[in-house]
Each structure stands twice: as structure tokens, then as C-alpha cells.
Structure 1
Amino acid sequence: MKKANWLLLVLALVLSMFLAACSGGDESDTGSDSDADSGSDGEDTEESSGTDDEQVLNIMESAEIPTMDASMATDAVAFQFLGSTMDGLYRLGEDGKAEEGIAQDHQVSDDGITWTFDLREDAVWSNGDPVTAHDFVYAWQRAVNPDTGSEYGPYMLGGVINNATAIADGEQPIEELGVEATDDYTLEVTLEKPTPYFESLTTFGTYLPLNQSFVEEQGDDYALEADALIANGPFKFTEWNQGEGWTLEKNEDYWDAESVQLDQINVSVVKEVSSGVNLYQTGEVDRAGLSAEFVDEYRSDEDFRIEEEPTLFYLKMNQENEILSNVNARKAIQHAINRQAMVETILNNGSIPGVGDIPQNFTTHPETGEDFRDINGDLIGSDAEANLEEAKEYWATAKEELGIEEAELGYLGGDTETAQNMDAYIKAQLEQLEGLTVNVQSVPFQERLDRDTAMDYDLQNSGWGPDYIDPNTFLNMWVTDGGNNKTGYSSEEYDALIEEANNELAQEPVERFDNFLEAEKMLIEEDAVLAPLYQRAVAQLWKPYVKDVTVNPMGPDYTYKYAHIEGKE
């Protein structure tokens, strides 16, 4: 999840569930500082950060964290703060590249199957226990153990770590997972097949280590409150008031504590954009997301920022619904929404219309360097008037095939101010289709997560940010029975394209890329599995004294390890 994808969220903009980061979460407030040196190398000194400034960062999220259990987390808010309090083998550094975490180095066998990680011996948990290779073995086994009930474990490890899928399916014992502590500080990982992006995967939340004795001691309370958490990363939870917010403090036991300059991060849960802007103006928070009505007001303000992201939003359509099982009905919904007007009037923040399942400026052809999005182009069409006429034609055909004159669909949306504005707009757009009634249900974030998992919806405003830099992070979601599919979509042809790309073509980059191009066309143009809405940008206000916040293209939206406060009056 930023970005599975993406996960990926911003107070003003994320209008629905974002399963991961990458998938993502609700309208959680995030932001970046364009004045800051993104991807700081951690060499800042007290002199550079200012000795007179209190090193406290105050920010907002618009959703509570459902859980801080790395095995169970599926949303962008959780992955953001897992990334702030935990180190995996590697962590995200500058430009989304991996930098040292618990691993200092690794070696890869010639066939690309065996990865051996050399772990540092100076890393400890915040309870004083050493961080060892055994913590990774336990965490990864737990993530794919069917008794755990993890969604992301089978998804992120399956098809990557040897035997992960078979274990998740209950066909092999967890001890057969391809991960072994050959000694306390050496981790040997056996992959199912060569995986070009595996180093990137190790930075993701599902791959974080867990302290077995602590987890088991906490039992069902683990990761649900501050006292039931320990950290091995830059910060640690010291307070967590459900529904109100949480506090992180610098982890003095962190192996790289010298690079961490912030003493404290205070996070408040604030759902209304107007409330967040008021808190920003009174100096109570250092970052605020802006919805459309505030963007024009603050566009010329020196604190105003727009950050483009490789994060996509779309309508998921549940094909177990009789109406949505019809491909022409799905194509009608795809074409009925004026996406250009939506990004200009509802979002008004630099977001652009969605045209496929891969964002622009995300990945390029391995030979020509051409952007994936430029090669496949707009798979929906940008002429709103022509699209609406097509939508009406598709809808007429669908009604004839279904033998109906009228139809009623539920629409699962969010309960924040911006989500409700977006959902009302989409409802009005879809009801241009004669005889269609759309009933919007505005529910809290956790309920949407639960209902998505149970496929208890007809239409759902959803999003995804990449979990790693590769087209597979978006396209692999929609294979038959995929852990994050949750649409009822199943295509042997589509499955075959993704399967071949990740197996026979794993070390054939050009042919692999071509498979992904074909798969995206099938997903959007032919089978109309999703109705693309927009590629997200976020409009925000950032206090200029917040420095060196790293903006990430995947996993946690932001890295605060090197952030500091400088020049605050």
C-alpha cells in the first residue's frame, strides 16, 4: 500500500478506502515540504536544525489507525506509522530507493532465488531485546499462517517467498516458508522465483520483524494501544487515544538515533477540512490538507504546496451484483462520469483524470524509456460529451440484456466532508443513466475496510498506491481470487498474462512489460473491471519551518526520520 498502491492519505483528498498502502486509508492528512531536501541523508547537525527550536511536529490524520499489527495492517495510516516506528531489512530512502535498516548488506545467488541478508548487531527493540533474524522468521511465518487471518501476508509474500501460497492455503506447515535464521544475525530467504523488485518489497510494512515473546505476551491486545507496542525504528508510541490521536517520541534506543532530530510527533484525528485549516491558522498543527473550496483561497499563500502522487482512485464494481455482472453496465458506469470536471471542480488540487490502472510518471519501458501511460494512452477517452453518449448506449444495451427498465445500486462511500462531496457528485453523474438510482452509504473508514473484505457493496470509491515500483503492484491485484481483488472478477486470459509476466518472463524485461500493457487494456477497455476516477495530487499548507520530510512513492507516504524544525518563530 503507495503505493498497494499505494496503499495508499490526505485529509482533503483521499475519498475512500485505500487498501495499502498501499493500499490506502481514508482521508488521512499527509503532506510534504517542497522547501525541504527530500530524502535527507541524515547528516544534519544541531547547528543546521537550530538549537533554539523545539523539535516537535504537529500533524493531523482524518482516520483512526485500525491496528499497528504489521501482519494485519491494510491501510495507509497504519503503514505510515509502522514506517515511522519500525525498521525492516531496508527502509525507504531518497527517490524511493532502499537504504540500510536492520540489514547492512545482502548477497543474491546467480539464479536470483537465494538472498542472504547480513543484519546489524546494534539494533534493539524499545524493551531492550536485540533485533535478530529470528524476528523476521517469526513475522513472515505469522503473516502467511492461515490462523492469523492476514490479508496482506498471503498477498505480499505469496508467489514471492517460497511456499508462502501453499502455507496460506493450509497445504504446508509454516515451517516450510522460505526464510531461515542461519544464525542470530544472518537471514537466508528463498524465493519462489526471481523477483526483480524484492529489495524494494523488503521496505514494506508486511515484511517488518516482530518480537515473538512480546507479541504473544500481549495476546489479543497486541498493537491496539500504546502500551501493547514496542518499536525498533526512529520513533515509538507513547500515547494513543482512540478516536482522538496519538503521540510518537524519539526512540533513544534506535540504532541510528543520532540521525533523528524530532523529539516528538503529535497526531490529531480531524475529519473536517475546515477544522484542520483553522488549526493550521492558529498554529496548532504544522500541516493541513485543502479541499477544493480552500485551494483558490490559499493558492498564492507561501505555505501552499501541491504534491503529485502515483496513487489512483476508481470505482470498484462488485460483479456478484446481477446488474454489475453485465459488462455493458460496467462500461456505462465507466463512461458516465465527467472526470475532467471532477478534478477541476470537486478536487481542484492538481489531480488529473484517471485513464487506466497504471499512473503516469510511475514506470517506463525497460528498453525505450517511454512512460507506461504514454504507451497505452487513455483507455476511457477524454471527451466528456462523447463519453456520456457512449455511456447511454452501453446502458441501453445492458438494460436490454438484463431485461430491466430500472436499476438500483448501493454506493459505499466515506463519512468525511470531502468524501461526501465527491460521492454526491458521482451519484449525480451516474444517475444521468435513465432508470438508474444510486443510494450512497457514508460509513466510517473501518466499516468500509470490513465491508470491502466481505464484498458487502455494489459500487465503492476505492484507491491504490504502489507497494513497490513495478506495474505488477497495480495489475496483480485483479487476478482470480486475489487477496485484494474483492470485485468477483475472474479471467483465465488475464490471469495467464500476469502469471507469465511473473514467471517465464521474470528475467525478460521487455516481454514482461508488454504483458502488462496487454493486461491493462483487458482490465479497463475489454472487461471494464474498474471505472477510473483520478490520479491523486494533494494540495496542502505546510509550515516553512518543517524541514527534510521525505516524500515516498510507495509504502509510508512520508519519512520523518530526518525531519526537523528550523526557524520557527
Structure 2
Amino acid sequence: MKLKKILLLTTCLAFSLNGLAFADTGMKNGEKLAENQNYTYRELDSFKTLDPQLNADTSGSDVIRNLFETLMNEDSQGNLVPGAASSFDVSSDKLTYTFHLRPEAKWSDGTPVTANDFVYAWQRLADPKTASEYASYLEMMQVENTKDIIAGKKPPQDLGVKAVDDHTFQVKLIAPIPYFVKMTVNASMAPVKKSVIDKFGDDWTKPGNLVGNGAYVLSEHVPGEKLVMKRNPNYWHNANTGLDIVTALIINDSNQAMTRYLAGEVDKTDIPAGQYPRLKKEYPDQAISTPKSCTYTYLFNVSEKGPAALKDVRVRQALSYAINRDVIVNNVLQGGQKPAYNWVHWATAGFKMPDIPAAHMSQKERDEKAVELLKEAGYSPSHPLNLTLSYNTDEGHKKIAIAVAQFWKKVGVNLTLTNMEWKVLTDKLNHQDFDVARYAWCGDYNEASTYLDVFTTTSSNNYVKYSNPAYDKLMSEAKSAADPQPLYTQAEEILAKDAPQAPIYQYSAVMMLKPDIHGYPEKSVMGNWYAKDMYRVAK
């Protein structure tokens, strides 16, 4: 692993040189910088939390990624680059990872970032008292003793992490996984400062209280309205930080957000469903559609709290068959998305798409199969199945929900639609308080297991409480398989058969971005953006 260590250090040196040029000349990548280095983007819903170990959604991760820095970061292409760690070593058995932290790294209050800060954060994530939705993430990473800690059989202090010294953080695994380092980029892996949490308790993430080690500090947060971050002068690489101020505006209406974008109030916003073709013609240098590692789905509550009808696999299969994905993608969305009959996003690195039979059927054939299955289960237009769909408020989600209600009506299912704020929906998901729920999963790292692990029995993201021992066995074996792809294919086939969900489409990032904003990771399928790497050029 010495080669990898040298490569990381070389990359760091390149970053430092670029930083000096940026700071001294007002140029970056040969481009003249604008005097205004502020950036404003639209966010659909309020941020549920800014606590790295409690966060479970993409919007929260975007902010946390800028307020905190994990061991590794990603560049604009989605490649791993040094973060809080300048390099790392791997033992010959690939069970011990040793990360070398930057001695110059500081918290935003000016105190040093140490290996103990990472130890505390990772133990906090696993601790059942924290009640993190991402606790099982450490188990997926194969970190030693995670399973027993989550189950309450061992204390958090037994987690396979330790501070060798102030700048050396060591992780022990129970089995080698080739994508372990990729997983450290996730926001839940960020260090947090124990003394700050001890002092402020639940209020530690408020402006003025929050202390991070990222390129930005939290200066203002008005829930439901806006969040503002300003550059952190104590960040180890502040000389190369691009943007000065980053503002997220909460705008629930996508059409209103587009109006404010066109008025110059917002630098980036999602394109409303169906408007991409027109906007691409009118604003060819601003309208963007690029693959993004997320899959949009409807979850079926198969837990004890779910409706009896959804415990019948024939009903779930019928509901999935009856969704006309082509209509949703081609008529409703029109932004480069792809119909989904499987769970893992098609652009995931190294992933081979499984051959799902439903994908080859005509919609007429799918509808006929849905009617047949529902009839077997005791439902028909004269004796319809009644279900409720819960979705978070958004015009695009509403259009899809209305379309699905029409599709299901054709096969004898009455669907009641109920919309709510994202926070309310996630609470319902966590408590299995729903029949069918709109959901989307965005990959935590660029490898198929980030999707497939969601439906393992012990996953804390398995909101429907689906459980299949054969599926769990496949995913367990995949962790140490030389070639996990055949196991992933089998896992996808089981999901398609058991239908704990109905995947609808796989994402493209469909957005408007001001042409003078450079450095946004348009070519990264993960879509992880770092404001420090973005900048505004002079017009």
C-alpha cells in the first residue's frame, strides 16, 4: 500500500500548489475569478438535522459535507481524494486500515482535530443510545464488534477503532471489503467534538454552537426558510476554498424555485418535471441532465404494522407490474431518467444490470398479469383493494402519485394520496406508519452493495422490515467474494420476486446551474459536491 500512500500525498501537494495560485492571483484553473464568490441553491424541504451521526438524507449530507470533513473526500469526477486524512495504509490481510490525519487540521474554534474525535464519532454512531438510522452502516463496513454494539451486547468502546496517537486513526474489520475506503466519505463518518456536544446537548448544531472541521461554518439557520454557511478561516486548506458564502433557500414549490432562478435569486435549482426539453432549448448552457446514483421507488409496508393485503406477495407483485414506468419517464419527467425494474442504479461502478422478466413485457402484458395476481389474492374492480400512499410535498412527486393512482385504478386498486413534509414522512417511515410510501435511495458510495444492503434484515434503513434469509446470505457472502456480481444478480432477482418495493425510475440530476458557477461535479454519478471546490468566474 505504499504506492497508494505516495499517490495520496502527491495529490495533496498538487492541491496545495493550486491553493497558492488561487489565493495569490485571483485565478483558478486559468480562469479569472469574480469578486462575488457567493452561491445560493434551492432545497425542497427543511433540513431534518445537521448532526452527522443522526442525518439520513441527501440534503443534510450536502450541508454536513461542507461543515465537516471525513477521512476522504471526492473530486469533481467522483474519485477519492484526501480529506481529513492525508494518507492511509492497509495491512496485508486487508483487515486493518491506518489513516494518517493532517497535523495542521483544526476545528473551527482553532483547536486541533485528533484521532480521538473520529473514535468518539464512530462509537457514537454505533451506540444504541444515539438511535441513528445509519448505525448499521458501520456493520456494512465490517467494522469489528458493530453488530454486538448495536444489539446492546457490547459497549460502544469495543468498536474496532482506536487512536494510535493524536494523528493516527486505526480501524479493524472482521472481513475485507474492497470498497471500504469509499464508504468513509459518507457524512455519518464525519468527526464530531465531544466537548461541544456535552456542553450544548441537542442544541449543539445551532449557529454559534456548532464546531466543525470542514471548509465552512454555520452562520445562520432558519428552519423552513434558509441555511447560510461562511468559509472557515481555521480550515487547513482555507487558502484554496473557492466560495465565500453558501446559502440554501427552502422553496417547496419547484415552479416558484424556477421563477426565482430565472430572476437571478438562485444559482442552482432542480428542473420541474416535464420542463427539461423546453429549458434545454432556451438555456442550453444552463440546463443539465446527467446520471445520478439514486433510485425512485414506492415502498410496501410488509411489517407487522402494515396492511394485511401487502403481506401477500401476489398483491405486491401486481402493484409493481401495474406501474407504467415508460409513461412516468417519457411523459411526466422527461429529464433523461430511466425506467427501473431493479434496485441498483444502472450507472453504478462495475455493476451489471440483471435480467428482470418484467422489463421485457409490454405494459398490456404487465397489466394483465397484475389483474390475474390480484384476482388470485381476492381483489377485483368489484372488490377493490384500498391503500394509502404517503409522499413528501413536491409537484413532481404529486404528478407521479396521480399517475400511479390511475394505473392502479385500472387493475382494481383504489389509492388515496396524502402528502406531508419530508420530516413527517421520515418519521412515518421510521415507525412503519404507512401503507405505501414514496422514497428514493441515493448511493452512499459507488458500489452496488450501497443499494442492496438496504433490504437486509438488520439494515436500519430497511423501513418496510423486509426479511429474507436467502437474501441476507447472498449479501453476506458478497462482502468477501472475489467477484460479487453474480451474488448481486441473485439478490436483485429475489427483490424483484419478493417485491417489498416497486422501483419506478433511476435518476438523472436534472437541474439549472448558472454558467459562471464552475467546479460543480456534473460528471460524478454520486453527485457529492464540495463548495470549497466551486467558484464563480468573472463574466
Give the TM-score normalised by structure 2: 0.91
2: CA distance between counterparts of 1:293 and 1:57? 26
The aligned counterpart of 1:398 is: 377
Query: Counterpart of 2:128 in 1: which secondary structure?
Result: coil
The aligned counterpart of 1:427 is: 405
The aligned counterpart of 1:276 is: 257
Query: Counterpart of 2:46 in 1: which secondary structure?
Result: coil
The aligned counterpart of 1:135 is: 117
Give the conservation status (yes or no) of the 8 Å contact 1:122–1:255.
Answer: yes
Give the superposition deviation at 1:418.
Answer: 2.0
Give the superposition deviation at 1:553.
Answer: 4.9
Give the conservation status (yes or no) of the 8 Å contact 2:128–2:151.
Answer: yes
User: Aligned partner of 2:514: which letter?
Assistant: K
Give the conservation status (yes or no) of the 8 Å contact 1:55–1:262.
Answer: yes
What is the aligned counterpart of 1:415 among 390, 393, 399?
A: 393
The CA deviation string for residues 149-176 of structure 1, in whole angstroms up to 9 with x for no partner, is: 1110233345611001111110001111
What is the aligned counterpart of 1:311 among 294, 297, 304?
A: 294
The CA deviation string for residues 533-566 of structure 1, in whole angstroms up to 9 with x for no partner, is: 0011132221110111124757663222211111
Give the conservation status (yes or no) of the 8 Å contact 1:550–1:560.
Answer: no
Q: Which deviates more, 62-71 or 50-59?
A: 50-59
The aligned counterpart of 1:480 is: 457
User: Aligned partner of 2:463: which letter?
Assistant: K
The aligned counterpart of 1:297 is: 278
Query: Counterpart of 1:299 in 2: which secondary structure?
Result: helix
Query: Counterpart of 1:372 in 2: which secondary structure?
Result: coil
Give the superposition deviation at 1:567.
Answer: 2.6
The CA deviation string for residues 443-468 of structure 1, in whole angstroms up to 9 with x for no partner, is: 10000110000011111111111112
The CA deviation string for residues 254-288 of structure 1, in whole angstroms up to 9 with x for no partner, is: 10112112111121111112211111111111122
The aligned counterpart of 1:509 is: 482
Unaligned runs of 5+ in 2: 1-14
The aligned counterpart of 2:266 is: 285
What is the aligned counterpart of 2:69 among 75, 87, 94?
A: 87
Give the conservation status (yes or no) of the 8 Å contact 1:292–1:345.
Answer: no
Unaligned runs of 5+ in 1: 1-38, 365-370
Give the superposition deviation at 1:313.
Answer: 1.0
User: Aligned partner of 2:237: which letter?
Assistant: D
What is the aligned counterpart of 2:44 among 55, 62, 67?
A: 62
The aligned counterpart of 1:189 is: 171
2: CA distance between counterparts of 1:342 and 1:159? 35
Give the RMSD, CA atoms, in angstroms: 2.1
What is the aligned counterpart of 2:521 among 550, 559, 568?
A: 550
Q: Does 1:329 align with 2:315?
A: yes
2: CA distance between counterparts of 1:167 and 1:561? 36
1: CA distance between counterparts of 2:527 and 2:216? 14
The aligned counterpart of 1:494 is: 471
Q: Does 1:528 align with 2:506?
A: no
Q: Does 1:210 align with 2:210?
A: no
2: CA distance between counterparts of 1:372 and 1:202? 24
Give the conservation status (yes or no) of the 8 Å contact 2:133–2:460.
Answer: yes
The aligned counterpart of 2:491 is: 519
Q: Which has the higher contact order (CA 8 A, sep 6+)?
A: 1
The aligned counterpart of 1:346 is: 332
The CA deviation string for residues 32-71 of structure 1, in whole angstroms up to 9 with x for no partner, is: xxxxxxx999556313443543111111101111111011
User: Aligned partner of 1:394: which letter?
Assistant: L
Give the conservation status (yes or no) of the 8 Å contact 1:167–1:174.
Answer: yes
Give the superposition deviation at 1:107.
Answer: 1.1
- Shift in alpha-carbon separation, 1:140–1:74, aligned structure 2, 3 A: same
Q: Which deviates more, 333-342 or 412-421?
A: 412-421
The aligned counterpart of 1:471 is: 448
User: Aligned partner of 1:463: which letter?
Assistant: A
2: CA distance between counterparts of 1:382 and 1:94? 38
The CA deviation string for residues 405-454 of structure 1, in whole angstroms up to 9 with x for no partner, is: 332111111212222222111111111122x2111110100001100000
The aligned counterpart of 1:372 is: 352
Give the superposition deviation at 1:493.
Answer: 1.3
Q: Which has the higher helix share?
A: 2
Give the conservation status (yes or no) of the 8 Å contact 1:315–1:530.
Answer: yes
The aligned counterpart of 1:165 is: 147
What is the aligned counterpart of 1:75 among 54, 57, 64?
A: 57
Query: Counterpart of 1:279 in 2: which secondary structure?
Result: helix
User: Aligned partner of 2:203: which letter?
Assistant: D
- Shift in alpha-carbon separation, 1:183–1:172, aligned structure 2, 3 A: same
The CA deviation string for residues 168-227 of structure 1, in whole angstroms up to 9 with x for no partner, is: 11000111111111111111111121121111111111111111101111112122x222
The aligned counterpart of 2:10 is: none
User: Aligned partner of 2:296: which letter?
Assistant: F
The aligned counterpart of 1:8 is: none
Query: Counterpart of 1:431 in 2: which secondary structure?
Result: helix
The CA deviation string for residues 357-382 of structure 1, in whole angstroms up to 9 with x for no partner, is: 11212132xxxxxx511x53565445
Q: Which deviates more, 335-344 or 89-98?
A: 89-98
User: Aligned partner of 1:411: which letter?
Assistant: L
1: CA distance between counterparts of 2:357 and 2:241? 44
User: Aligned partner of 2:489: which letter?
Assistant: L
Output aligned runs, 1:17-32, within 5 Å. none
- Shift in alpha-carbon separation, 1:314–1:120, aligned structure 2, 3 A: same
The aligned counterpart of 2:425 is: 448
Give the conservation status (yes or no) of the 8 Å contact 1:467–1:554.
Answer: no
User: Aligned partner of 1:253: which letter?
Assistant: N
The aligned counterpart of 1:15 is: none
The CA deviation string for residues 117-166 of structure 1, in whole angstroms up to 9 with x for no partner, is: 11111000111111000000000111111111111023334561100111
Give the conservation status (yes or no) of the 8 Å contact 1:159–1:192.
Answer: no
2: CA distance between counterparts of 1:538 and 1:382? 28
1: CA distance between counterparts of 2:183 and 2:347? 20
1: CA distance between counterparts of 2:201 and 2:145? 27
Q: Which deviates more, 326-335 or 278-287?
A: 278-287
User: Aligned partner of 1:441: which letter?
Assistant: T
- Shift in alpha-carbon separation, 1:297–1:556, aligned structure 2, 3 A: closer
What is the aligned counterpart of 2:223 among 239, 242, 265?
A: 242
Give the conservation status (yes or no) of the 8 Å contact 2:217–2:230.
Answer: yes
Query: Counterpart of 1:193 in 2: which secondary structure?
Result: coil
The CA deviation string for residues 463-511 of structure 1, in whole angstroms up to 9 with x for no partner, is: 1111122221111111124211121321111111112222xxx1x322x
Give the superposition deviation at 1:83.
Answer: 0.8
The aligned counterpart of 2:4 is: none
Q: Which deviates more, 156-165 or 305-314?
A: 156-165
Query: Counterpart of 2:533 in 1: which secondary structure?
Result: coil
